[in-house]
């Protein structure tokens, strides 16, 4: 019996320790190589993922793959299915109870708050590709509505990601392109305020220079003299009006790299009894303290599980950054260089959002581990081998949920350039630490209108 038990146990432990990224390595590799036809085949080949607890991730990835294949209608169809699943998600009491003695991965995947928002971002980009400005506006408006709804659930521990500056910026660009300068100015102003408060403080991003120029221009076009004067003083520049380019303008979006992936990390907590009757879990290294006040919300079983514990080790998800190959980019047109400016740092938002969620959910994770270790302690008192078996089961089931939407970009940058001829040759320069990669694009004239273009690098 011992000869067969330990190899089996070892294999089970190895499989249970694999992260979501490791379990989907083949698909991730095809994405990183830019082979999206093969990525599409791999997705549809995985029937278990398409119908099981990871169904939401299937449709998020499918929407992304169709986006990269330049199939905007098919991409939006997949994202709409994902959006419906997110909207319909509700807590299952039986599953939630099972999680207390198992792990969060037994549940259908619940997206991080910023992942919910990125669905609308991609849908908006798809509508822009289709030339549907109104459809794009509907999606962008949804972003800040959803952020308000998500943060209303956390009255005491809100996310630092409460407003999306890029959503306001994108809204302004679309209104601007539609000739609605009044609403464009309001959206640009909201974007600037969010950049200079939320984004500067939490993500280290300041308002792009292009945004400042667009605020001045739309204030002038709307006849908002006081606002124009105020922003001229704030930006330290005098606005001089110039007529829009006769052959139109180009808004170039650059989706750079891939966002972070989740792994797990463990941390030890020492249990202490406090004078007011609370049990406190404390970790000196990270300065973390989580008190439990034994009110009516806890059962006798949960109380007894904690009674004989001194140290609790819990595992939590953490993000691992995937630094992009390219650090910056410029567009070259008519002997002029136009730098692409950072508008959304999805990598930073991901890290901060997960950190804020962990602070809200530490207590649930600790209670789960404490309950399982309490069962192990009770089993050991009855029989040493029974205690070993329970401990082994605990080790195999106590793991962090490392699932996440792993095909999101690392960051989004943009630039506006004027077009001046019937056929416009624009060169894009993407800079690594020691090299430059160049791509050339041809954009037709779009007289007195604005064209939108999205380009991705991995």
Closest CA to 271 of 263, 261, 281, 262: 281
Give the whole-angstrom CA distance, residue 377 versus residue 384.
Answer: 10
Size of the chain, expressed as the number of residues it contains: 458
Give the whole-angstrom CA distance, residue 269 versus residue 271.
Answer: 6
Query: What is the widest separation between alpha-carbon atoms in the chain?
Result: 86
Q: Which domains does the chain have, with CATH numbers?
A: 163-242 (1.25.40)
pLDDT given at position 397: 57
| Alpha-carbon dihedral 216, 220, 221, 225, rounded to 10 degrees | 130
3-state secondary structure of 175: helix
Phi-psi group of 334: left, alpha or beta (phi > 0 → left; psi -120 to 50 → alpha; rest → beta): left
Give the whole-angstrom CA distance, residue 59 versus residue 44.
Answer: 10
pLDDT given at position 196: 97
Extended beta strands in 323-410, E state: 328-333, 336-339, 341-344
pLDDT given at position 444: 94
What is the DSSP secondary structure assignment for residue 314, as one 8-state letter?
E
What is the DSSP secondary structure assignment for residue 403, as one 8-state letter?
-
DSSP lists the bridge partners of residue 269 as 312
Give the whole-angstrom CA distance, residue 110 versus residue 108.
Answer: 6
Point out the residues of the chain with pLDDT beneath 70. 1-17, 90-103, 156-157, 277, 292-308, 363-364, 366-381, 383-398
| Alpha-carbon dihedral 169, 456, 427, 443, rounded to 10 degrees | -70
Give the whole-angstrom CA distance, residue 139 versus residue 133.
Answer: 10
pLDDT given at position 12: 41
């Amino acid at each position: 019996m011992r000869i067969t038990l330990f190899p089996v146990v070892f294999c089970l432990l190895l499989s249970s320790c694999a992260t979501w990224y490791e379990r989907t390595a083949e698909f991730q590799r095809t994405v990183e190589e830019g082979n999206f036809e093969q990525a599409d085949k791999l997705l549809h080949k995985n029937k278990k993922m398409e119908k099981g607890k990871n169904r939401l991730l299937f449709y998020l990835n499918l929407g992304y793959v169709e986006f990269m294949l330049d199939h905007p209608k098919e991409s939006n169809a997949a994202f709409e299915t994902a959006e419906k699943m997110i909207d319909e998600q509700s807590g299952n009491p039986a599953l939630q109870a099972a999680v207390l003695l198992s792990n969060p991965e037994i549940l259908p995947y619940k997206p991080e708050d910023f992942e919910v928002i990125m669905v609308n971002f991609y849908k908006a980009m798809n509508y822009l590709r289709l030339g549907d400005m109104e459809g794009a506006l509907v999606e962008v408006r949804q972003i800040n509505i959803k952020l308000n709804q998500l943060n209303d659930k956390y009255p005491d521990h809100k996310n630092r990601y409460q407003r999306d500056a890029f959503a306001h910026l994108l809204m302004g660009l679309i209104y601007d392109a539609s000739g609605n300068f009044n609403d464009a100015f309001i959206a640009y102003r909201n974007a600037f305020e969010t950049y200079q408060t939320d984004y500067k403080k939490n993500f280290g991003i300041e308002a792009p220079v292009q945004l400042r120029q667009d605020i001045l221009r739309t204030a002038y076009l709307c006849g908002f003299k006081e606002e124009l004067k105020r922003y001229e003083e704030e930006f330290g520049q005098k606005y001089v009006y110039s007529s829009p380019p006769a052959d139109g303008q180009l808004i170039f979006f650059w989706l750079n790299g891939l966002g972070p992936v989740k792994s797990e990390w463990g941390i030890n907590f020492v249990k202490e009894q406090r004078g007011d009757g609370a049990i406190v879990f404390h970790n000196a290294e990270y300065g973390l303290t989580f008190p439990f006040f034994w009110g009516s919300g806890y059962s006798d079983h949960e109380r007894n599980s904690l009674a004989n514990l001194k140290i609790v080790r819990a595992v939590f998800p953490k993000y691992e950054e995937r630094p992009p190959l390219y650090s910056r980019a410029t567009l070259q047109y008519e002997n002029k260089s136009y730098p692409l400016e950072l508008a959304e740092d999805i990598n930073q938002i991901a890290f901060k959002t997960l950190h804020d969620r962990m602070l809200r959910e530490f207590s649930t994770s600790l209670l789960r581990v404490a309950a399982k270790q309490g069962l192990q302690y009770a089993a050991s008192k009855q029989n040493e081998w029974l205690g070993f078996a329970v401990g082994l089961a605990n080790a195999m089931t106590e793991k962090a949920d490392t699932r996440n939407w792993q095909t999101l970009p690392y960051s989004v940058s943009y630039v506006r350039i004027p077009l001046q001829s019937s056929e416009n040759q624009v060169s894009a320069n993407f800079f690594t630490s020691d090299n430059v990669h160049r791509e050339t694009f041809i954009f037709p004239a779009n007289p007195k209108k604005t064209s939108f273009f999205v380009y991705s690098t991995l």
